């Protein structure tokens, strides 16, 4: 269990920076151009205080010693430097914005690719909202930092270095006095970084938790309303929201003190410079123009440090967000196929489980030493109480998970020796949890077979008894299914997924409560279509309605992770055991 105390421990951001540099490396030519532009722009700005001092000296402090033309020329040159710097900074901002957009595009694509490649074990144990938060909010924060903070930091470093060089060229003594305060500024800045860094990590985590909770509530909104539990979940959200706001407040409060504190230190430094500079001026060691230039350079030196302190909050937030993204990218994808794995082609459909054991959580086995053999073309029905391991059998068969002990064979070959792609392409699946994407009805039916002809799609829809509904839509098969398929009923969703499975010509079929979301009359039509679909195919059916599996070649009753009973419907009724009790309970 990860506690908040562990999260608050400072982490090494070296790996995070290395990850960002890896994405920035392909853009090094543009970054080099940006560096040159930024350097030039800051050099022009640094010329301003020097020219200002020379203009002041040209005006003189004694009447009759004024060189007005030189003063005007210096002022105009100073104006030109500032105008040129502004133009170059505009170009720089546009260039860096373009670079950051390209980098974030690659990071977002890689993050999405990683999400779809994650093993089911990771997805099952993490909130969807947290994963969405990483690809949206976290990358937006990184994008903002790359497009703004990176330019600010580079410009500030150039300004600090250039200002110090100019101050040393004017007066070494004043520069040494100014530098007396610098160690305090550096030490305080490092302290504040260590203080605020973990707070932004917690802030990102809390936001991900809140997003995950909101998504969970939206998915179950109808159930919440049906049970009149709006107040309960609103109260729970209030607690999560309070934690999130508290995390935001702590991070922002601590970060907000950085700028004013460093400004105070800088002002103390400026006061010392002004006092000793006045003494040097009275002694004739420095001119009034040089003293003015030095004060302006000290301001230019302190200003970027203040800016760096001000953007520390954004930078640390971006690093925390990037760390979350890179942590996700570092998660192992589904294990690669063996080097000598081969494709499963023209499978006959003989499936064997040999002493298979499996557990999702160590020490809590779901399947225990399970043995099973199905002949090609046979229908195997799996029944049993909730949590008995019925769906786990399917998960192992499809290699969403791999068994801890034992092995599974198809046509005599261990499935670990097969490529996952060819194994899964040998099955058609219809799940209880229907999934349709935003797009046309035609595209949703042909999802597993993109090259299917219109005739094949219509034939599958007709076999699934959904063709009349489709034809009645304004645009027929080109009608759009909305995001989340909210514009069609749950039963119609189920029928469309069945049509999708019918379109595939696979040797094996998996039906997980495929008729659970349709009415009794439609169930009869679907059952007739399924009876045609399973002919010649090795089929696995998970069912609670025993009326749909009475013609199965073999019925498995799973309980406590084992096959308690198996046989045909008549055989199991004759045994008068658990299956018979279950049948009597449904049809008494």
Distance CA 368, CA 454 (A): 46
DSSP notation for 49-69? HHHHHHHHHHH-SSTT---HH
- Residue 556: CB partners within 8 Å, gap ≥ 6? 372, 380, 381, 382, 383, 384, 563, 565, 566
Cβ atoms 380, 553 nearer than 8 A: yes
- pLDDT (0 to 100) of residue 312: 67
Q: Are 157 and 43 in contact (CB under 8 A)?
A: no
Strand ordering across the sheet containing 554-559: 427-430, 508-512, 538-542, 379-383, 554-559, 562-567
Distance CA 405, CA 381 (A): 23
Report the pLDDT value the prediction gives residue 588, as an integer from 0 to 100: 60
547 near 533, Cβ under 8 Å?
no
Structural tokens at position 336 = 């690669």
Beta-carbon contacts of residue 285 (< 8 Å; ≥ 6 apart): 171, 173
CA-nearest of 211, 308, 206, 212 to 250 is 206
Give the whole-angstrom CA distance, residue 588 versus residue 585.
6
How far apart are the C-alpha atoms of 72 and 266, rounded to whole Å? 32
Confidence at residue 518, expressed as pLDDT on a 0 to 100 scale: 60
Q: Taken in order 255, 256, 260, 263, is the CA torsion positive or negative? A: positive
CA 506-377-358 angle, to 5 degrees, is 80
Q: How far apart are CA 8 and CA 196, in angstroms?
A: 10
SS3 419: coil
Residues facing 559 on adjacent strands: 562
Output the pLDDT for position 3.
39
Longest CA span, the chain:
125
CA 537 to each of CA 393, 508, 541: distance values in angstroms, whole numbers, following the listed order? 18, 5, 12
Question: Rounded to an integer, what distance in angstroms lies between the CA atom of residue 426 and that of residue 324?
Answer: 37
Give the residue ranges of DSSP H helices in 283-436.
Answer: 288-329, 390-397, 420-425
Partners of residue 382 on adjacent β-strands: 542, 556
Rounded Cα distance between 538 and 351, Å, is 8
Region of 519 (left: φ > 0; alpha: ψ -120 to 50; beta: rest) is: beta
User: Which of 18, 343, 317 shows the shortest CA–CA distance to 196?
Assistant: 317
Domains and their CATH numbers in the chain: 104-329 (1.20.1560.10), 351-587 (3.40.50.300)
Residues 336-340: contacts with CB under 8 Å, at least 24 apart? 337/418, 337/419, 337/420, 338/416, 338/417, 340/417
**CA–CA gap between residue 118 and residue 131 (Å, rounded):** 11
- pLDDT in 10s for each residue of the chain, 588 residues: 333 334 433 355 778 888 888 888 888 888 889 888 888 888 888 888 788 777 777 766 544 556 677 778 888 888 898 899 899 988 988 888 888 888 888 988 998 888 888 888 787 777 777 788 788 878 888 887 777 777 777 777 888 888 888 888 888 888 787 777 777 777 777 777 677 777 777 877 787 778 777 877 776 776 676 666 778 778 888 888 888 888 878 877 777 776 677 777 777 777 777 777 777 777 777 777 777 788 787 777 766 766 666 676 677 778 888 888 888 888 888 888 888 888 888 888 889 999 999 998 888 888 999 999 998 888 999 988 888 888 889 889 988 888 989 999 999 899 999 998 888 888 888 877 777 888 888 888 888 888 888 988 888 888 888 888 888 888 888 888 876 666 777 778 888 888 888 888 788 988 887 666 566 676 676 777 777 777 778 889 888 777 778 888 899 999 888 889 899 889 888 988 888 888 888 776
Q: Sign of the CA dihedral 259, 262, 268, 274?
A: negative
The three-class DSSP label of residue 169 is helix
SS3 333: coil
Integer-rounded Cα Rg, in Å, for the chain is 35
Alpha-carbon span 427 to 39, nearest angstrom: 61
Would you state the pLDDT for residue 5? 36
Run of H or E residues at 558? strand 554-559
Whole-model pTM over 0.85 = no
């Amino acid at each position: 269990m990860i506690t908040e105390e562990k999260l608050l421990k400072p982490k090494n951001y070296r790996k995070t920076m290395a990850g960002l540099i890896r994405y920035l490396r392909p853009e090094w030519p543009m970054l080099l151009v940006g560096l040159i532009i930024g350097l030039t722009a800051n050099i022009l700005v640094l010329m301003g205080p020097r020219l200002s001092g020379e203009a002041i000296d040209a005006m003189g402090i004694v009447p009759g010693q004024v060189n007005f033309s030189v003063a005007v020329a210096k002022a105009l040159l100073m104006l030109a430097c500032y105008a040129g710097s502004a133009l170059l900074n505009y170009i720089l901002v546009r260039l860096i914005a373009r670079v950051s957009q390209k980098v974030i595009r690659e990071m977002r694509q890689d993050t999405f690719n990683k999400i779809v490649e994650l093993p089911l074990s990771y997805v099952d144990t993490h909130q969807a909202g947290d994963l969405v938060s990483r690809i949206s909010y976290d990358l937006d924060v990184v994008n903002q930092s790359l497009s703004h903070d990176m330019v600010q930091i580079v410009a500030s470093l150039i300004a600090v270095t250039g200002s110090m060089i100019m101050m040393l060229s004017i007066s070494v003594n004043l520069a040494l006095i100014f530098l007396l305060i610098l160690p305090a500024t550096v030490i305080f800045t490092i302290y504040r970084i260590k203080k605020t860094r973990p707070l932004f990590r917690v802030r990102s985590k809390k936001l991900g938790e809140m997003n995950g909770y909101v998504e969970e509530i939206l998915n179950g909104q109808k159930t919440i309303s049906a049970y009149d539990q709006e107040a309960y979940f609103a109260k729970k959200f209030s607690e999560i929201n309070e934690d999130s706001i508290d995390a935001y407040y702590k991070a922002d409060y601590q970060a907000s003190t950085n700028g004013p504190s460093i400004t105070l230190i800088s002002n103390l430094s400026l006061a010392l410079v002004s006092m000793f500079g006045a003494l040097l001026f009275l002694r004739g060691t420095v001119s009034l123009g040089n003293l003015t230039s030095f004060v302006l350079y000290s301001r230019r030196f302190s200003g970027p440090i203040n800016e760096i302190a001000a953007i520390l909050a954004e930078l640390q937030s971006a690093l925390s967000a990037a760390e979350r993204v890179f942590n996700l990218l570092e998660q192992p994808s589904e294990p690669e196929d063996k080097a000598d794995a081969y494709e499963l082609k023209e499978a006959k459909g003989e499936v064997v489980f040999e002493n298979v054991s499996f557990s999702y959580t160590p020490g809590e086995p779901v399947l225990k030493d399970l043995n099973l053999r199905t002949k090609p073309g046979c229908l195997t029905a799996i029944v049993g109480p909730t949590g008995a391991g019925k769906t786990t059998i399917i998960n192992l068969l499809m290699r969403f998970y791999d068994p801890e002990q034992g092995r599974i064979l198809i046509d005599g070959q261990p499935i670990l020796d097969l490529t996952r792609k060819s194994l899964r392409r040998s099955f058609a699946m219809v799940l209880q949890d229907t999934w349709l994407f935003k797009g046309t009805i035609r595209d949703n039916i042909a999802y597993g077979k993109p090259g299917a002809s219109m005739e094949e799609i219509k034939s599958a829809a007709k076999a699934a008894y959904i063709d009349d509904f489709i034809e009645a839509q304004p645009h027929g098969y080109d009608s759009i299914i909305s995001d989340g398929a909210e514009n069609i009923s749950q039963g119609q969703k189920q029928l469309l997924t069945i049509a999708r499975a019918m379109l595939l010509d696979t040797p094996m079929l998996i039906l997980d409560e495929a008729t659970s979301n349709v009415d009794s009359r439609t169930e009869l039509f679907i059952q007739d279509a399924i009876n045609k679909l399973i002919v010649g195919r090795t089929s696995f059916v998970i069912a609670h309605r025993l009326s749909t599996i009475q013609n199965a070649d073999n019925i498995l009753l799973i309980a406590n992770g084992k096959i308690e009973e198996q046989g045909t419907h008549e055989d199991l009724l004759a045994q008068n055991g658990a299956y018979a009790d279950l049948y009597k309970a449904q049809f008494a």
